[in-house]
Structure 1
Amino acid sequence: MTPNYTLSGRYRIIRSLGEGGMANVYLAHDLILDRDVAVKLLRLDLRDDPKTIKRFQREALATTELVHPHIVSLYDVGEENGMQYLVMEYVKGMDLKNYIKEHFPLPLQQVIDIMEQILSAVATAHAHNIIHRDLKPQNILIDEQGNAKITDFGIAVALSEHTMTQTNTILGSVHYLSPEQARGSMATKQSDIYSLGIILYEMLTGSVPFKGETAVSIALKHFQTEIPSVRDFDADIPQALENVVLQATAKDPRDRYATVADMATDLLTTLSSTRVGEKRFVPADMGNDETRIMPSADIAAAIAANRRADALKQQTKTAAKATDPEKSTTPTAEAPLPKRSWSKRHPLRRRLILFGSIGLLLIIAIVVGLELSRPQMTKVPKLTGLTQSAATKVLTKQHLSVGTVKRAKSNAVAKNQIIKSTPGSRQSVQTRSRINLTISSGAKHTSFGNYVNESYSDVRATLTAAGFKVKQEFSTSEVSAGQIISQDIVAGSSVLPTNTTVTFTVSAGSRYVALRDLTGESRADILNYATANRLNIEFKQGYSDEQKSGYSYDQDPEGGTNVRAGSTVTVNMSKGSQPANADLAESFKVKVKVPYQNLNMSTTTANDVKIYLEDDSHLIGSLYRELAITRDTRVSLPFQLTGSQTGKYRIVRNGVTIAEKNKITNKDASN
């Protein structure tokens, strides 16, 4: 498929996104809805293969049934000139496999957040009785906001469907294959849970647990070999988190989590202090049932070869016994020999045994000596993020010590924490070696650039990597969508990246959006929708008897209204039912001084100040007020709080938070 080819008169092909075993994927633009999409096109050499066509159609059917923010949406299904295609949501980013490679090691909280998104998506599939059967990092996309989306339901199958379950072909990727699938048994929901456990293992260690030269050897390990400990790789991983991996990847499906929801519930508390000291998960003893031979011809052959080798060893032992006159127990009919000592009857054999014993002892002594003289080896533990004192304790346990220590500025690692060690983590060294440390002396100031007229996605990637927190607001503009119109930090300002949040005003183009009904949705889902459609959201909160806390109950404009991209939509989030003492809401003001910062000594430059507050009517994540100041300024922040509710405020000057306070009460009111 060449660029600029228009499929069905609607989807203009832009470029290739990748090639797979069943289909090729292209980035295209929907000329009717004016949006980028991903087009999955069945390969030409497979379009006459009925099995492949059935699998392709199965993916369309499975994806159509699943509507979830963390599952790639299916927009359209079609056929042109014998070419079958799917039109799907375009996720700009990378797959989880590459994300792990580029960002490893991932912070444990991020691992849990990503995994929780994946689990919620799989739970939805299981609720529809759809088993994915091919869960792996390559089939999980991570967008530019760090959100996970599952794709490729090409071999997903409903529980009521019995095709493709008892065949000689193992479907799915062998590195993530459950033991029962490797044996050729029918895939169940517990099979998906096993694959999820392997994915979690890879996110924690950067590698799959089982490797081999062939798919057969890897498959054998899945049901014969214990999964390696993630805590052996990184001792800082809590036992509770390793237990999630162990239970999800239990060999017997009955020992795994009953549901994906159970796994998610367990995962979300693994970093809690209440689970410190948790014992290692051990599966229940289900007995030593005989292992079933896998239907796969290759794996069956491998097992048969192992059995033939064992039989050959046994035959060799039997033959050795039969030919050794000393070990033979067969009685002889010969007359008994005169009673003489054995040594006198066999002097030559006695000398051979004596010299042989001496030689054997010498060999043993040499081997033991070499072994004792060989330097003992150990692996350098992971030290990044630790303080020097904590690292010293960890090294001591490994019979290592701290070597030279140097300091360096870092925008990614907090002050007094270790940036890197030399030799690095997991490298083999002799015991009693000294490990050199590089420790952060804190972040370094940098001059903020001018990013107006540049691509927001490119700038965001660059600044995020440098330690900045980056936000965007949309505005209707004639310039290209996605292009930065303005920034709230003055170019040339000296800032600390790790302590700076920059908000860019980004062009939303000049198109109109048919606003969706957002009532009943969570804050995260609303923000995802707003970003995808280049809309701004202003959150407010209030009481609602119809909607539970944390979900929206009203919006302005209403759903179905056509609004211009870049517009602001006000969404009211529920705090739950109105309490009995709601009429006792108290109003008061808190006065705060905002100091002026002179950024240019030769002239007076206005400071951009943004104020965020939270009370009965406002949320801390939404902008309450913005002002420009040229001198120290006092502002009054109005609060309305009901009962035991407390408030918050945060003040950001030129992109840097300069004042923040939580748990505001009427005691903080200004006179």
Structure 2
Amino acid sequence: MIGHELGGRYEILEQIGGGGMALVYKAHDVLLNRHVAVKVLRQQFVNDEEFIRRFRREAQSAASLSHPNVVSIYDVGQEDETHYIVMEYVEGHNLNEIILERAPLQAQEAVHIALQICDALEHAHHNQIIHRDIKPHNILIGKNNRVKVTDFGIARAVTSSTITQTGSVVGSVHYFSPEHAKGVNAGEKSDLYSLGIVLYQMLTGRLPFLGESPISVALKHLQENFEEPRKVNPHIPQSLENVILRSMRKNPDERYASAEEMIEDLDSCLLPERMHEDKLEFADDAEVTRVMPAIRPGMETAAVPTSTMKTDMMQTRHGEQPLESREPRQSEKPAKKKWVKPVVTIGVTLLIIALLLVGFFYLVNKLDTEEVEVPYVVNEIQERAEAMLEESGLQVARPVTYEENPDVEPGIVLRQSKEGMRVKVGSIIELVVSSGPDMELMENFVDQSYESARASLIALGVDGERITMDEVFSEEVEAGIVVSQSLTAGEEFNPAEVTVSFEVSKGPQPFDMPSLIGKSQSEAVNEIRQKGLVINTDTGITSKPSYKPQGEVLEQFPYNPGDSVTRGAEVTLSVSSGLPEDALEYTFNIPISPTEVNGTSEIRIEFSDARGDNQDFGKRRINSMQNFPVKLVLDPRTEALVSVYRDEIFIRTYHVTYDAARSGTAVAEPIESNPPPVVEPPPVEEPPPVEETPPVIGTPEDPPPAVEENGDGEDGDQDEQ
């Protein structure tokens, strides 16, 4: 069926469910470009003409329903021997899955779901459509929490030849009403009985009737009582239990008269004034087997069955003696003695006189009893009030009446009888004592959502402003779930005064994303696992060509190094698959000699190519010319650079281009040793030049200028300068 196109319009995509009579598929409506649900009748029913006729009629009736809580019917058709119904596709879960996952549900959530189901039934019943198969499997909960009831009108098409099939029963016997189990015509109240079972299962997590076979379960619907919901789950309000008790009565006359009446009860059952109402009581069913009392002497006539009495009368009319007359007569008792009757008469008369005397003296005693003033004990502690009354010679009525009062502490007297009066000593005084406010028991909200816990407390009367939360990191608990609560489960509290605080998980604590780029694939995967991260199941680890070594991580996403992540986050890696197709691997040979002939030198080479810059080739000590093969990876768009250092002194840099390497013309010139230094003779020192005496200017008669020895004169200063 998958891949088939029904009616030239509905392309079957996948099977999403199935029941006793039909299979349900998800399909694509190619005409309106939307997803729909297609219910296809099982092949074993296609030859039953009566079933086919009713199937079509009821499917058309269901299609006439238009309600937000009813799955819409779009189309009904037949292709060859395939009969199908096209209906609205609801994305979400059915109620049975939700019950299995987290039942028992909170009272508010269960009532919210039941109200929508009941609203759908009210609309259907108004249109003379009886569902007859209300069960959690037929209740769909969409992602917007909208409840949708499906399978309207199909169960009604079952004939006597299709009630059962191999290994299963059409419909579910666990949700049958008693009249359904009897096989009589089931009406609107049968749907309400089934809804009561669904509500019971939501609140308790179990079914009311279980058995080893469908027949045994059906008999329990007819004959046995179910365990009351509050005995299974004490947190269910009494008002809500009353809804279940009434909807699941075996006598249809004792159930709700209509879905509308049940809606009204559901709508108000969680109001504060109703939550503690009295439990509903019903008269015993007429069909319940009763234990008859044993027949005792003197009761033979009353206990004789009517049929036996009629038989004896008929026998008498025909001249026969009744059974008693045919038995032998016993001998008559002897006559009583004549003195017995006067003795009895006298005894009774004396007893009456004695009683009259006792009553007279008692009355006189009461009339003469001392009177006392009734003390005022209102607002006193109960023990003190009772002591005050007893000291005055009065008695306290038992049991003492207790009354809830949020304004008065427990144990304080609220009211008293005969206040401000004088009464006889020994009179009884009635007290009404405060039991304090209406206390509630704290539920266990751990592992529930904070919003659900808050809603439950508000429904009990707790002010929302006195419900607080403190968010904490948790590795085990998902965000929004309660980790702990200030009041322990089962502890009593006053909703009008209590303050409740919750610790709520905000998920795992975030940390900085490590850098995985440049690491090998195995190193990156190990670090991801150590950090509590996971490899993305869809994209996983991708690879692409690069000039990095094969298996080296090139990219990481969606989290870059330093981004904030939490445990469980999914990471995708991109690793190198090796060199691109146009990459060229080339060995560049460089012959190098030591600095001096027959000397020793340390050679260091660095190179830059398509794989990266300033890569270290390594160091080597040589004492003669040696060849250094440098393996390069060349990119057509760049060139490689090879730098040579001898004894940590830069010698030269070679430029190796892609084209030269490809043609084989990239050849390194050898680096020779430095030539030995030339020894030159020391220079000959020449004698210093002889200074010539300057000619004397002037006449011979003029004497030479005088020079002062101490140099203090003006001429001396100039000579020094």
TM-score, normalization: structure 2?
0.41
Return the structure number with greater relative CO, CA threshold 8 A, min gap 6: 1
